Structure 1
Protein backbone atom coordinates (compact mmCIF):
# COMPACT_ATOMS: atom_id res chain seq x y z
CA UNK A 1 0.00 0.00 0.00
CA UNK A 2 2.81 2.36 0.84
CA UNK A 3 4.42 1.68 -2.55
CA UNK A 4 1.12 2.35 -4.35
CA UNK A 5 0.68 5.60 -2.43
CA UNK A 6 4.21 6.67 -3.34
CA UNK A 7 3.57 5.95 -7.02
CA UNK A 8 0.28 7.90 -6.91
CA UNK A 9 2.02 10.85 -5.27
CA UNK A 10 4.79 10.81 -7.87
CA UNK A 11 2.22 10.67 -10.70
CA UNK A 12 0.25 13.55 -9.16
CA UNK A 13 3.39 15.63 -8.81
CA UNK A 14 4.40 14.90 -12.41
CA UNK A 15 0.96 15.85 -13.75
CA UNK A 16 0.95 19.10 -11.75
CA UNK A 17 4.42 19.97 -13.06
CA UNK A 18 3.24 19.32 -16.62
CA UNK A 19 0.19 21.52 -16.07
CA UNK A 20 2.42 24.29 -14.75
CA UNK A 21 4.79 24.04 -17.73
CA UNK A 22 2.78 26.26 -20.17
CA UNK A 23 2.43 28.97 -17.54
CA UNK A 24 6.14 28.80 -16.84
CA UNK A 25 6.89 29.20 -20.54
CA UNK A 26 4.56 32.17 -20.76
CA UNK A 27 6.26 33.72 -17.74
CA UNK A 28 9.72 33.15 -19.20
CA UNK A 29 8.60 34.80 -22.45
CA UNK A 30 6.89 37.77 -20.81
CA UNK A 31 9.49 38.50 -18.12
CA UNK A 32 12.07 40.18 -20.43
CA UNK A 33 9.38 42.60 -21.63
CA UNK A 34 8.48 43.72 -18.13
CA UNK A 35 11.17 46.39 -17.79
CA UNK A 36 10.82 48.00 -21.26
CA UNK A 37 7.02 48.07 -21.00
CA UNK A 38 7.29 49.62 -17.54
CA UNK A 39 9.64 52.30 -18.88
CA UNK A 40 7.28 52.94 -21.79
CA UNK A 41 4.36 53.31 -19.39
CA UNK A 42 6.37 55.70 -17.23
CA UNK A 43 7.38 57.70 -20.29
CA UNK A 44 3.77 57.91 -21.49
CA UNK A 45 2.50 58.92 -18.07
CA UNK A 46 5.23 61.52 -17.61
CA UNK A 47 4.51 63.08 -21.00
CA UNK A 48 0.75 63.11 -20.37
CA UNK A 49 1.09 64.63 -16.89
CA UNK A 50 3.64 67.21 -18.01
CA UNK A 51 6.36 66.07 -15.60
CA UNK A 52 8.98 66.98 -18.23
CA UNK A 53 8.72 69.61 -20.93
CA UNK A 54 7.78 68.21 -24.38
CA UNK A 55 10.81 70.06 -25.80
CA UNK A 56 13.03 67.95 -23.55
CA UNK A 57 11.17 64.63 -23.68
CA UNK A 58 8.51 64.32 -26.43
CA UNK A 59 5.63 61.92 -25.96
CA UNK A 60 5.78 58.39 -27.41
CA UNK A 61 2.94 59.29 -29.80
CA UNK A 62 4.93 62.26 -31.12
CA UNK A 63 8.00 60.06 -31.62
CA UNK A 64 5.89 57.45 -33.38
CA UNK A 65 4.42 60.08 -35.72
CA UNK A 66 7.93 61.31 -36.55
CA UNK A 67 9.10 57.77 -37.21
CA UNK A 68 6.13 57.17 -39.49
CA UNK A 69 6.82 60.40 -41.40
CA UNK A 70 10.45 59.36 -41.87
CA UNK A 71 9.36 55.98 -43.22
CA UNK A 72 6.76 57.54 -45.54
CA UNK A 73 9.17 60.11 -46.99
CA UNK A 74 11.90 57.53 -47.60
CA UNK A 75 14.44 59.30 -45.38
CA UNK A 76 14.41 56.45 -42.88
CA UNK A 77 15.46 53.90 -45.49
CA UNK A 78 18.09 56.28 -46.90
CA UNK A 79 19.82 56.76 -43.55
CA UNK A 80 19.32 53.15 -42.41
CA UNK A 81 20.74 51.66 -45.61
CA UNK A 82 23.79 53.94 -45.37
CA UNK A 83 24.45 52.82 -41.80
CA UNK A 84 23.93 49.12 -42.59
CA UNK A 85 26.30 49.31 -45.56
CA UNK A 86 29.00 50.90 -43.43
CA UNK A 87 28.66 48.53 -40.50
CA UNK A 88 28.42 45.53 -42.81
CA UNK A 89 31.67 46.25 -44.63
CA UNK A 90 33.51 47.36 -41.50
CA UNK A 91 32.32 44.37 -39.47
CA UNK A 92 33.26 41.85 -42.16
CA UNK A 93 36.74 43.34 -42.50
CA UNK A 94 37.28 43.52 -38.73
CA UNK A 95 35.86 40.03 -38.09
CA UNK A 96 38.03 38.48 -40.82
CA UNK A 97 41.15 40.16 -39.45
CA UNK A 98 40.21 39.19 -35.89
CA UNK A 99 39.67 35.56 -36.85
CA UNK A 100 43.04 35.38 -38.62
CA UNK A 101 44.89 37.11 -35.78
CA UNK A 102 43.17 35.09 -33.04
CA UNK A 103 43.76 31.82 -34.89
CA UNK A 104 47.43 32.66 -35.41
CA UNK A 105 47.88 33.38 -31.70
CA UNK A 106 45.83 30.35 -30.70
CA UNK A 107 47.86 27.96 -32.85
CA UNK A 108 51.31 29.36 -32.08
CA UNK A 109 52.64 30.22 -28.64
CA UNK A 110 55.44 32.16 -30.28
CA UNK A 111 53.04 34.41 -32.22
CA UNK A 112 51.04 34.95 -29.04
CA UNK A 113 54.17 35.93 -27.11
CA UNK A 114 55.13 38.49 -29.75
CA UNK A 115 51.69 39.92 -30.56
CA UNK A 116 49.40 39.61 -27.54
CA UNK A 117 51.10 42.11 -25.15
CA UNK A 118 51.08 44.87 -27.75
CA UNK A 119 47.58 43.93 -28.85
CA UNK A 120 46.27 44.11 -25.27
CA UNK A 121 47.86 47.55 -24.88
CA UNK A 122 46.38 48.94 -28.10
CA UNK A 123 42.86 47.62 -27.49
CA UNK A 124 42.59 49.71 -24.32
CA UNK A 125 42.47 52.84 -26.47
CA UNK A 126 38.83 53.72 -27.28
CA UNK A 127 37.62 54.26 -30.82
CA UNK A 128 37.21 58.01 -30.42
CA UNK A 129 40.85 58.33 -29.37
CA UNK A 130 41.90 56.84 -32.73
CA UNK A 131 39.71 59.30 -34.63
CA UNK A 132 42.21 62.21 -34.92
CA UNK A 133 45.06 59.92 -35.95
CA UNK A 134 43.04 58.05 -38.60
CA UNK A 135 41.59 61.37 -39.74
CA UNK A 136 45.08 62.62 -40.56
CA UNK A 137 45.87 59.44 -42.50
CA UNK A 138 42.75 58.91 -44.62
CA UNK A 139 40.74 62.12 -44.30
CA UNK A 140 37.10 62.53 -43.32
CA UNK A 141 35.58 60.28 -46.00
CA UNK A 142 34.14 56.78 -45.87
CA UNK A 143 37.49 54.97 -45.26
CA UNK A 144 37.64 56.68 -41.85
CA UNK A 145 34.38 55.04 -40.82
CA UNK A 146 35.32 51.62 -42.19
CA UNK A 147 38.66 51.58 -40.37
CA UNK A 148 37.22 52.57 -37.00
CA UNK A 149 34.32 50.12 -37.28
CA UNK A 150 36.69 47.32 -38.30
CA UNK A 151 38.98 48.09 -35.36
CA UNK A 152 36.07 47.91 -32.93
CA UNK A 153 34.87 44.57 -34.34
CA UNK A 154 38.34 43.03 -34.56
CA UNK A 155 39.13 43.20 -30.83
CA UNK A 156 36.47 40.87 -29.34
CA UNK A 157 36.64 38.53 -32.33
CA UNK A 158 40.41 38.11 -31.99
CA UNK A 159 40.33 37.59 -28.22
CA UNK A 160 37.47 35.09 -28.33
CA UNK A 161 39.10 33.22 -31.21
CA UNK A 162 42.29 32.93 -29.17
CA UNK A 163 40.32 31.68 -26.17
CA UNK A 164 38.33 29.22 -28.28
CA UNK A 165 41.40 27.71 -29.91
CA UNK A 166 43.09 27.30 -26.54
CA UNK A 167 40.18 25.57 -24.79
CA UNK A 168 40.40 22.36 -26.83
CA UNK A 169 41.16 19.44 -24.46
CA UNK A 170 44.74 18.23 -24.71
CA UNK A 171 43.53 14.62 -24.72
CA UNK A 172 41.66 15.14 -28.00
CA UNK A 173 44.75 16.58 -29.64
CA UNK A 174 46.75 13.60 -28.48
CA UNK A 175 44.13 11.27 -29.95
CA UNK A 176 44.45 13.13 -33.24
CA UNK A 177 48.20 12.68 -33.18
CA UNK A 178 47.78 8.95 -32.49
CA UNK A 179 45.52 8.62 -35.55
CA UNK A 180 48.06 10.49 -37.65
CA UNK A 181 46.04 13.67 -38.19
CA UNK A 182 47.90 16.40 -40.03
CA UNK A 183 48.06 19.93 -38.63
CA UNK A 184 45.24 20.97 -40.95
CA UNK A 185 43.05 18.01 -39.93
CA UNK A 186 43.58 18.74 -36.23
CA UNK A 187 42.51 22.34 -36.70
CA UNK A 188 39.45 21.59 -38.88
CA UNK A 189 38.20 18.42 -37.15
CA UNK A 190 39.24 18.87 -33.52
CA UNK A 191 40.09 22.46 -32.61
CA UNK A 192 37.54 24.36 -34.68
CA UNK A 193 34.40 22.40 -33.63
CA UNK A 194 35.24 22.93 -29.94
CA UNK A 195 36.02 26.61 -30.52
CA UNK A 196 32.83 27.31 -32.47
CA UNK A 197 30.64 28.50 -29.54
CA UNK A 198 33.34 30.88 -28.36
CA UNK A 199 33.87 32.11 -31.93
CA UNK A 200 30.19 32.97 -32.26
CA UNK A 201 30.30 34.78 -28.93
CA UNK A 202 33.18 36.84 -30.30
CA UNK A 203 31.26 37.57 -33.49
CA UNK A 204 28.22 38.75 -31.53
CA UNK A 205 30.36 40.98 -29.32
CA UNK A 206 32.22 42.20 -32.39
CA UNK A 207 29.01 43.22 -34.10
CA UNK A 208 27.82 45.00 -30.96
CA UNK A 209 31.06 46.97 -30.82
CA UNK A 210 30.88 47.69 -34.54
CA UNK A 211 27.28 48.93 -34.30
CA UNK A 212 28.11 51.21 -31.37
CA UNK A 213 31.19 52.53 -33.14
CA UNK A 214 29.14 53.18 -36.27
CA UNK A 215 26.81 55.51 -34.39
CA UNK A 216 29.77 57.27 -32.72
CA UNK A 217 31.58 57.76 -36.04
CA UNK A 218 28.45 59.06 -37.74
CA UNK A 219 27.94 61.45 -34.86
CA UNK A 220 31.35 62.96 -35.58
CA UNK A 221 31.85 62.84 -39.34
CA UNK A 222 28.96 61.99 -41.64
CA UNK A 223 26.35 63.52 -43.90
CA UNK A 224 23.97 60.55 -43.84
CA UNK A 225 23.17 57.62 -41.58
CA UNK A 226 21.35 57.07 -38.31
CA UNK A 227 24.10 58.73 -36.29
CA UNK A 228 23.91 61.78 -38.54
CA UNK A 229 20.14 61.80 -38.06
CA UNK A 230 20.67 61.99 -34.29
CA UNK A 231 23.11 64.89 -34.65
CA UNK A 232 20.81 66.68 -37.08
CA UNK A 233 17.86 66.38 -34.71
CA UNK A 234 19.95 67.64 -31.78
CA UNK A 235 21.18 70.66 -33.73
CA UNK A 236 17.62 71.60 -34.65
CA UNK A 237 16.48 70.74 -31.10
CA UNK A 238 14.00 68.24 -32.52
CA UNK A 239 14.11 65.65 -29.76
CA UNK A 240 11.38 63.61 -31.44
CA UNK A 241 13.73 63.05 -34.38
CA UNK A 242 16.54 62.09 -32.01
CA UNK A 243 14.35 59.61 -30.14
CA UNK A 244 13.02 58.12 -33.39
CA UNK A 245 16.58 57.51 -34.64
CA UNK A 246 17.55 56.00 -31.27
CA UNK A 247 14.59 53.59 -31.46
CA UNK A 248 15.65 52.48 -34.94
CA UNK A 249 19.27 52.00 -33.84
CA UNK A 250 18.22 49.88 -30.86
CA UNK A 251 15.71 47.85 -32.86
CA UNK A 252 18.12 46.99 -35.67
CA UNK A 253 20.89 46.09 -33.23
CA UNK A 254 18.55 43.81 -31.29
CA UNK A 255 17.25 42.05 -34.42
CA UNK A 256 20.73 41.36 -35.79
CA UNK A 257 21.87 40.08 -32.39
CA UNK A 258 18.92 37.67 -32.34
CA UNK A 259 19.78 36.57 -35.86
CA UNK A 260 23.36 35.80 -34.84
CA UNK A 261 22.06 33.94 -31.78
CA UNK A 262 19.77 31.81 -33.97
CA UNK A 263 22.67 31.10 -36.33
CA UNK A 264 24.86 30.07 -33.39
CA UNK A 265 22.15 27.70 -32.14
CA UNK A 266 21.79 26.14 -35.60
CA UNK A 267 25.55 25.58 -35.88
CA UNK A 268 25.67 23.97 -32.43
CA UNK A 269 22.89 21.56 -33.37
CA UNK A 270 24.77 20.47 -36.48
CA UNK A 271 27.87 19.68 -34.47
CA UNK A 272 28.45 16.10 -33.22
CA UNK A 273 26.87 15.74 -29.81
CA UNK A 274 24.93 18.98 -30.21
CA UNK A 275 21.37 19.52 -29.01
CA UNK A 276 18.78 18.01 -31.32
Structure 2
Protein backbone atom coordinates (compact mmCIF):
# COMPACT_ATOMS: atom_id res chain seq x y z
CA UNK A 1 0.00 0.00 0.00
CA UNK A 2 1.43 3.30 -1.08
CA UNK A 3 1.16 6.11 1.43
CA UNK A 4 0.44 9.49 -0.07
CA UNK A 5 1.61 12.68 1.48
CA UNK A 6 -0.51 15.78 1.26
CA UNK A 7 1.37 19.03 1.15
CA UNK A 8 -0.18 21.60 3.46
CA UNK A 9 0.17 25.14 2.21
CA UNK A 10 2.01 27.42 4.59
CA UNK A 11 -0.34 29.46 6.70
CA UNK A 12 -3.19 26.92 6.61
CA UNK A 13 -4.27 23.91 8.69
CA UNK A 14 -1.23 23.08 10.86
CA UNK A 15 0.25 26.50 10.38
CA UNK A 16 -2.99 28.43 10.78
CA UNK A 17 -1.83 30.28 13.86
CA UNK A 18 1.50 31.19 12.26
CA UNK A 19 -0.13 32.37 9.04
CA UNK A 20 -2.72 34.40 10.93
CA UNK A 21 -0.01 36.09 12.95
CA UNK A 22 2.01 36.95 9.85
CA UNK A 23 -1.04 38.36 8.07
CA UNK A 24 -1.84 40.41 11.17
CA UNK A 25 1.66 41.90 11.31
CA UNK A 26 1.61 42.72 7.59
CA UNK A 27 -1.70 44.57 7.89
CA UNK A 28 -1.06 48.34 8.29
CA UNK A 29 -4.34 48.80 10.14
CA UNK A 30 -3.40 46.08 12.62
CA UNK A 31 0.03 47.60 13.12
CA UNK A 32 -1.64 50.91 13.96
CA UNK A 33 -3.95 49.27 16.50
CA UNK A 34 -1.41 47.04 18.24
CA UNK A 35 0.21 49.83 20.33
CA UNK A 36 -3.23 50.75 21.68
CA UNK A 37 -4.12 47.27 22.96
CA UNK A 38 -2.31 47.58 26.28
CA UNK A 39 -3.52 51.14 27.10
CA UNK A 40 -7.11 50.21 26.21
CA UNK A 41 -6.84 47.05 28.29
CA UNK A 42 -5.58 49.02 31.29
CA UNK A 43 -8.35 51.58 30.80
CA UNK A 44 -10.95 48.80 30.73
CA UNK A 45 -9.46 47.28 33.88
CA UNK A 46 -9.47 50.69 35.56
CA UNK A 47 -13.12 51.28 34.65
CA UNK A 48 -14.11 47.79 35.76
CA UNK A 49 -12.32 48.14 39.09
CA UNK A 50 -13.94 51.51 39.74
CA UNK A 51 -17.45 50.38 38.77
CA UNK A 52 -17.22 47.15 40.78
CA UNK A 53 -15.92 48.94 43.85
CA UNK A 54 -12.67 46.97 44.03
CA UNK A 55 -10.86 50.16 45.11
CA UNK A 56 -12.34 53.18 46.85
CA UNK A 57 -13.08 56.12 44.49
CA UNK A 58 -11.07 58.33 46.86
CA UNK A 59 -8.02 56.17 46.17
CA UNK A 60 -8.64 55.38 42.50
CA UNK A 61 -11.20 57.76 40.98
CA UNK A 62 -13.17 56.45 37.98
CA UNK A 63 -12.02 57.52 34.52
CA UNK A 64 -15.14 59.67 34.18
CA UNK A 65 -14.11 61.74 37.19
CA UNK A 66 -10.66 62.33 35.73
CA UNK A 67 -12.11 63.37 32.36
CA UNK A 68 -14.54 65.72 34.07
CA UNK A 69 -11.75 67.27 36.17
CA UNK A 70 -9.63 67.68 33.05
CA UNK A 71 -12.50 69.39 31.26
CA UNK A 72 -13.22 71.67 34.25
CA UNK A 73 -9.59 72.80 34.59
CA UNK A 74 -9.41 73.43 30.84
CA UNK A 75 -12.67 75.41 30.93
CA UNK A 76 -11.69 77.67 33.83
CA UNK A 77 -8.18 78.25 32.43
CA UNK A 78 -6.27 76.65 35.29
CA UNK A 79 -4.89 73.89 33.06
CA UNK A 80 -3.60 76.26 30.38
CA UNK A 81 -1.88 78.52 32.92
CA UNK A 82 0.04 75.57 34.34
CA UNK A 83 0.80 74.10 30.90
CA UNK A 84 2.17 77.45 29.74
CA UNK A 85 4.40 77.73 32.80
CA UNK A 86 5.77 74.21 32.36
CA UNK A 87 6.32 74.59 28.61
CA UNK A 88 8.17 77.88 29.08
CA UNK A 89 10.49 76.34 31.65
CA UNK A 90 11.23 73.16 29.75
CA UNK A 91 11.78 74.88 26.39
CA UNK A 92 14.15 77.54 27.75
CA UNK A 93 16.01 75.04 29.91
CA UNK A 94 16.22 72.48 27.11
CA UNK A 95 17.46 75.05 24.58
CA UNK A 96 20.17 76.23 26.97
CA UNK A 97 21.27 72.71 27.89
CA UNK A 98 21.10 71.36 24.33
CA UNK A 99 23.06 74.32 22.91
CA UNK A 100 25.78 73.95 25.52
CA UNK A 101 25.78 70.17 25.04
CA UNK A 102 26.20 70.46 21.26
CA UNK A 103 29.07 72.92 21.64
CA UNK A 104 30.79 70.86 24.32
CA UNK A 105 30.31 67.59 22.44
CA UNK A 106 31.60 69.10 19.18
CA UNK A 107 34.62 70.58 20.95
CA UNK A 108 35.57 67.25 22.53
CA UNK A 109 34.80 65.42 19.30
CA UNK A 110 37.21 67.63 17.36
CA UNK A 111 39.98 67.62 19.96
CA UNK A 112 41.29 64.45 21.58
CA UNK A 113 43.29 66.54 24.04
CA UNK A 114 40.25 68.50 25.17
CA UNK A 115 38.32 65.25 25.53
CA UNK A 116 41.09 63.83 27.72
CA UNK A 117 40.91 66.93 29.94
CA UNK A 118 37.13 67.26 30.26
CA UNK A 119 35.46 63.88 29.78
CA UNK A 120 36.57 62.18 33.04
CA UNK A 121 35.36 65.11 35.15
CA UNK A 122 32.18 65.39 33.08
CA UNK A 123 31.42 61.68 33.54
CA UNK A 124 31.92 62.04 37.29
CA UNK A 125 29.64 65.07 37.63
CA UNK A 126 26.81 63.65 35.53
CA UNK A 127 26.41 60.75 37.95
CA UNK A 128 24.82 63.16 40.43
CA UNK A 129 21.02 63.21 39.89
CA UNK A 130 19.02 66.39 39.49
CA UNK A 131 17.73 66.31 43.07
CA UNK A 132 21.33 66.00 44.27
CA UNK A 133 22.13 69.38 42.71
CA UNK A 134 18.97 71.00 44.08
CA UNK A 135 20.27 72.12 47.53
CA UNK A 136 23.51 73.47 46.04
CA UNK A 137 21.81 75.44 43.26
CA UNK A 138 19.14 76.58 45.72
CA UNK A 139 21.80 78.24 47.88
CA UNK A 140 23.23 80.08 44.86
CA UNK A 141 20.16 81.30 42.95
CA UNK A 142 17.30 80.86 45.42
CA UNK A 143 13.95 79.21 44.78
CA UNK A 144 12.89 81.30 41.79
CA UNK A 145 12.76 80.50 38.08
CA UNK A 146 16.56 80.38 37.53
CA UNK A 147 16.66 77.30 39.77
CA UNK A 148 14.33 75.43 37.44
CA UNK A 149 16.10 76.57 34.27
CA UNK A 150 19.51 75.49 35.57
CA UNK A 151 18.38 72.03 36.67
CA UNK A 152 16.44 71.41 33.45
CA UNK A 153 19.42 72.57 31.38
CA UNK A 154 21.71 70.23 33.32
CA UNK A 155 19.41 67.31 32.62
CA UNK A 156 19.40 68.03 28.87
CA UNK A 157 23.13 68.75 28.75
CA UNK A 158 24.26 65.22 29.61
CA UNK A 159 22.71 63.09 26.83
CA UNK A 160 23.21 65.79 24.19
CA UNK A 161 26.92 66.10 25.01
CA UNK A 162 27.60 62.37 25.13
CA UNK A 163 25.67 61.60 21.94
CA UNK A 164 27.33 64.47 20.10
CA UNK A 165 30.74 63.16 21.13
CA UNK A 166 29.76 59.65 20.08
CA UNK A 167 28.51 60.94 16.73
CA UNK A 168 31.88 62.56 16.02
CA UNK A 169 33.88 59.58 17.20
CA UNK A 170 31.99 57.00 15.14
CA UNK A 171 32.91 58.62 11.80
CA UNK A 172 35.22 56.17 9.94
CA UNK A 173 38.74 57.51 9.54
CA UNK A 174 38.61 56.67 5.83
CA UNK A 175 36.07 59.46 5.23
CA UNK A 176 38.38 62.07 6.72
CA UNK A 177 41.34 60.71 4.80
CA UNK A 178 39.45 60.99 1.51
CA UNK A 179 38.39 64.53 2.46
CA UNK A 180 42.02 65.44 2.96
CA UNK A 181 42.89 63.93 -0.42
CA UNK A 182 40.24 66.14 -2.04
CA UNK A 183 41.77 69.16 -0.35
CA UNK A 184 38.95 69.87 2.12
CA UNK A 185 39.71 72.48 4.74
CA UNK A 186 39.03 71.71 8.40
CA UNK A 187 35.79 73.68 8.21
CA UNK A 188 34.63 71.87 5.05
CA UNK A 189 35.49 68.51 6.58
CA UNK A 190 33.37 69.21 9.64
CA UNK A 191 30.39 70.76 7.81
CA UNK A 192 30.28 68.47 4.76
CA UNK A 193 31.55 65.14 6.10
CA UNK A 194 31.40 64.86 9.88
CA UNK A 195 28.11 66.62 10.69
CA UNK A 196 25.99 64.87 8.00
CA UNK A 197 27.21 61.46 9.16
CA UNK A 198 26.75 62.35 12.83
CA UNK A 199 23.24 63.81 12.39
CA UNK A 200 21.29 60.63 13.39
CA UNK A 201 23.27 60.34 16.63
CA UNK A 202 22.85 64.06 17.30
CA UNK A 203 19.09 63.77 16.98
CA UNK A 204 19.10 60.78 19.30
CA UNK A 205 20.88 62.93 21.85
CA UNK A 206 18.37 65.76 21.40
CA UNK A 207 15.42 63.41 21.90
CA UNK A 208 17.00 61.88 25.00
CA UNK A 209 17.89 65.36 26.22
CA UNK A 210 14.31 66.54 25.92
CA UNK A 211 13.05 63.42 27.71
CA UNK A 212 15.44 64.07 30.59
CA UNK A 213 14.52 67.76 30.63
CA UNK A 214 10.79 66.98 30.74
CA UNK A 215 11.23 64.49 33.58
CA UNK A 216 13.40 66.95 35.49
CA UNK A 217 10.81 69.67 35.00
CA UNK A 218 8.16 67.62 36.75
CA UNK A 219 10.56 66.73 39.58
CA UNK A 220 11.59 70.35 40.10
CA UNK A 221 8.01 71.55 40.06
CA UNK A 222 7.08 68.87 42.58
CA UNK A 223 9.71 70.21 44.97
CA UNK A 224 9.73 73.97 44.45
CA UNK A 225 7.01 75.66 42.42
CA UNK A 226 3.77 77.58 42.71
CA UNK A 227 2.57 76.85 39.18
CA UNK A 228 3.06 74.23 36.50
CA UNK A 229 1.93 70.66 35.92
CA UNK A 230 4.15 69.36 38.72
CA UNK A 231 2.53 71.87 41.06
CA UNK A 232 -0.90 70.60 40.00
CA UNK A 233 0.15 67.09 41.03
CA UNK A 234 1.38 68.29 44.44
CA UNK A 235 -1.68 70.47 44.97
CA UNK A 236 -4.05 67.62 44.16
CA UNK A 237 -2.18 65.25 46.48
CA UNK A 238 -2.28 67.74 49.35
CA UNK A 239 -6.06 68.13 48.96
CA UNK A 240 -6.42 64.37 48.34
CA UNK A 241 -8.01 65.12 44.96
CA UNK A 242 -6.56 62.19 43.10
CA UNK A 243 -8.67 62.93 40.05
CA UNK A 244 -6.72 66.19 39.69
CA UNK A 245 -3.45 64.31 40.20
CA UNK A 246 -4.28 61.78 37.50
CA UNK A 247 -5.52 64.48 35.13
CA UNK A 248 -2.19 66.32 35.47
CA UNK A 249 -0.26 63.07 34.98
CA UNK A 250 -2.19 62.37 31.77
CA UNK A 251 -1.40 65.86 30.45
CA UNK A 252 2.29 65.43 31.31
CA UNK A 253 2.43 62.13 29.44
CA UNK A 254 0.48 63.43 26.44
CA UNK A 255 2.61 66.56 25.99
CA UNK A 256 5.86 64.62 26.37
CA UNK A 257 4.71 62.03 23.85
CA UNK A 258 3.60 64.62 21.28
CA UNK A 259 6.86 66.57 21.47
CA UNK A 260 8.90 63.38 21.19
CA UNK A 261 6.89 62.39 18.09
CA UNK A 262 7.46 65.85 16.67
CA UNK A 263 11.22 65.54 17.14
CA UNK A 264 11.09 62.11 15.55
CA UNK A 265 9.26 63.46 12.47
CA UNK A 266 11.72 66.34 12.23
CA UNK A 267 14.61 63.87 12.37
CA UNK A 268 13.09 61.75 9.58
CA UNK A 269 12.48 64.83 7.43
CA UNK A 270 15.95 66.28 7.84
CA UNK A 271 17.91 63.05 7.55
CA UNK A 272 15.77 61.75 4.71
CA UNK A 273 16.23 64.92 2.66
CA UNK A 274 20.01 65.09 2.75
CA UNK A 275 22.83 62.76 1.68
CA UNK A 276 24.65 60.67 4.24
CA UNK A 277 27.78 62.74 3.68
CA UNK A 278 28.60 65.75 1.56
CA UNK A 279 31.71 63.99 0.31
CA UNK A 280 29.74 61.04 -0.98
CA UNK A 281 28.15 63.08 -3.74
CA UNK A 282 31.49 63.88 -5.27
CA UNK A 283 32.91 60.32 -5.24
TM-score, scaled relative to structure 1 = 0.91
CA distance change for structure 1 residues 165 and 273 in 2, over 3 Å: closer, same or farther?
A: closer
The match for 1:119 is 122
Alignment of 1:186 with 2:189, yes or no, is yes
Q: Of 152, 171, 179, which aligns to 1:149?
A: 152
SS of residue in 2 equivalent to 1:168: coil
Question: Hey, what does 1:35 align to over in structure 2?
Answer: 38
Q: d(CA) in 1 for partners of 2:99 and 2:237? A: 35
SS in 1 for 2:250: helix
1:58 to 2:61 alignment: yes
**Equivalent in 100, 103, 107 of residue 100 of structure 1:** 103
From 231, 246, 264, the equivalent of 1:228 is 231
- Report the alpha carbon displacement of residue 273 of structure 1 after superposing the two structures with TM: 5.4
Superposed displacement of residue 169, structure 1 = 1.3
Q: Deviations over 1:102-141 (max 9, x none)?
A: 1111111001100000100111100000000000000000
The match for 2:199 among 191, 196, 199 is: 196
Distance, in Å, in 2 between the alignment partners of 1:273 and 1:84 is 34
Task: Output one character per residue of 1:21-71: Cα deviation in whole Å (capped at 9) or x when no partner.
Answer: 996212211111111111111111111111111111100000000000000
C-alpha distance in 2 between matches for 1:163 and 1:73: 47
Structure 1: stretches of 5+ with no match in the other structure: 1-8, 10-15
Runs of at least 4 residues off by over 2 Å: 20-23
Match of 2:3 in 1: none
Is 1:262 the counterpart of 2:279 in the alignment?
no
Sort the Cα spacing of 1:106 and 1:233 in 2 relative to 1 into closer, same or farther, 3 A: same
- Distance in 1 (CA, whole Å) between partners of 2:214 and 2:40 is 24
| Counterpart in the other structure of 1:74 | 77
User: Deviation of residue 270 (structure 1)?
Assistant: 1.1
1:91 pairs, out of 89, 94, 99, with: 94
Secondary structure in structure 2 of the residue aligned to 1:237: coil
RMSD of the alignment, in Å? Answer: 1.7
2:271 aligns to what SS in structure 1?
Answer: helix
CA contact (8 A) 2:148 2:220 kept: yes
Map 1:155-166 to 2 at 5 A. Answer: 155-166=158-169
- 3-state secondary structure, aligned to 1:131: helix
Alpha-carbon distance in 1 for matches of 2:54, 2:75: 31
User: 1:174: which partner in 2?
Assistant: 177
In structure 2, distance between residues paired with 1:199 and 1:22: 31
Q: If each structure's helix is expressed as a fraction of its own residues, which one has the higher value?
A: 1
SS across alignment from 2:57: coil
The aligned length equals 258
Separation in 1, partners of 2:119, 2:276: 33
Superposition map of 1:232-251 within 5 A: 232-251=235-254
Please give the alpha-carbon distance, in whole angstroms, between the structure 2 residues aligned to 1:160 and 1:91.
Answer: 15
